[in-house]
Amino acid sequence: MALNPDVNAKDKVGRTALHFACRAAKMDTFKLLVENEEVDLDAVTNAGVTPLMMAIESGEIDFVAECLNNNMNPFIKDALERTASDYAKHYRDVMGHDMRTLITNA
């Protein structure tokens, strides 16, 4: 971060560093990125996928909670009109918790 990189740079499908950190549930990288005032927490890929949606796909409920605590928007819709809650429907029992409930209560 000392070299002041473009934290919102996108690859050819529109993913940012935050998308990759969220998909891999890399907490250290995530925290480093969200501390940067320039980072777009709700950046969308060409298909409308947000970092929060990718965090949900990691299956790490504590990581998803951290994303929500950092004000990521769970109501954005992707190209197929799915929200974060729709992504979470497959994670009904993660460490005894329903990820959809976590998102609804955020």
Helix (H) or strand (E) holding 65: helix 61-69
Query: For 47-91, what is each residue's pLDDT tens digit?
Result: 999 999 999 999 999 999 999 999 999 999 999 999 999 999 988
* Orientation angle between helical segments 51-58 and 61-69, nearest 10 degrees: 160
Question: Is-contact 48 84, C-beta < 8 A?
Answer: no
Helix (H) or strand (E) holding 31: helix 27-34
Query: For 2-41, what is each residue's pLDDT tens digit?
Result: 667 899 999 999 999 999 999 999 999 999 999 999 999 9
Question: Is-contact 65 97, C-beta < 8 A?
Answer: no
pTM here?
0.91
Domain boundaries, the chain: 17-105
For 1, the 3-state DSSP assignment is coil
CATH number of 17-105: 1.25.40.20
